[in-house]
Amino acid sequence: MHELVVLGNDFEAAVEIASNLEGVCYLSDPDEARSLPFRTMVRVVTDNLEQLAAAAEVGSYVVFSRVVRERPVSVQAGTPSPGVTAVFPLLHHPDLTHEQTDAHWRDVHAPLALRHHPGMWDYTQLSVVHTLDGPPIDGFALVAFESLTSMKEEFFGDDNDRQVIYADVASFADPESPRRVVATETIYGQRPPTARVTWPRE
């Protein structure tokens, strides 16, 4: 199922929309002083784009979710998920099409990430199917770790891990891809989001 992803900077709007639509919300550290491409992300399934406007000041996208690895712990709906999630916006390599970049990301990079990010306990690729508004983006990598310390210390196991990942990313992604956003995830329904109703309705 396709999802809608919206990017913005309004924390209250993001939480309200994700909660009302039983979606997933990602919030950056409110004390983060660095310039970020966005500070909030909301993932939902809805047929009413107007419901998302307050949290979509940066951009809105239709995406397809590929869950590569799921963390081994569950969490109650509406409670912040354990650990931290690094959200990496992806732009396709200048020499490749969106389709070529996405295929490499899915078929080549995902297996490498599983081997060379030893502390990564959760990994989802949000492949952008269509940019509705905002800067063109080809995908969002959601790379989660048990803690901020784990993300800093176990993003790579050794220099070989770092070299392999850097070389692969350079082969399919634009080096000008936006800065990553480190965020806290809260799931208000389930992940990936699903429609609140089914059709035909009785």
Residue by residue, pLDDT tens for the chain (202 residues) are: 799 999 999 999 999 999 999 999 999 999 988 899 999 999 999 989 999 999 999 999 999 999 999 998 888 999 999 999 999 999 999 999 999 999 999 999 999 999 999 999 999 999 999 999 999 999 999 999 999 999 999 999 999 999 999 999 999 999 999 999 999 999 999 888 887 776 665 5
pTM over 0.85: yes
DSSP 22: T
**Minimal CA–CA distance to 113: which of 87, 92, 143?**
143
Cis peptide bond upstream of 192, omega within 30: yes
In this structure, is residue 194 part of a structural domain? Answer: no
Handedness of CA 17, 145, 86, 10 (dihedral sign): positive
In this structure, is residue 107 part of a structural domain? Answer: yes
In this structure, is residue 154 part of a structural domain? Answer: yes
In this structure, is residue 198 part of a structural domain? Answer: no
Cα–Cα distances (Å) from 130 to 64, 152, 198, in that order, read 10, 33, 24
In three-state secondary structure terms, 123 is strand
In this structure, is residue 161 part of a structural domain? Answer: yes
User: 120-133 and 139-145: which strand pairing?
Assistant: antiparallel
C-alpha 158, offset from chain centre = 25
Residue 42 pLDDT:
98
In this structure, is residue 201 part of a structural domain? Answer: no
Residue 44: CATH number of its domain: 3.30.70.100
Residue 193 pLDDT:
86
Domain total of the chain: 1
Buried b (16+ CB within 10 A) or exposed e, 19-42: bebbbbbbbbeeeeeeebbbbbbb
In this structure, is residue 196 part of a structural domain? Answer: no
Structure tokens belonging to residue 181: 């956003």
Residue 72 pLDDT:
86
Contact by Cβ (8 Å): 4, 54: no
**Minimal CA–CA distance to 26: which of 133, 124, 117?**
124
In this structure, is residue 197 part of a structural domain? Answer: no
**Residue-range definition of the domain harbouring residue 47:** 2-187
Phi/psi of residue 52, nearest 5 degrees? -105, -5
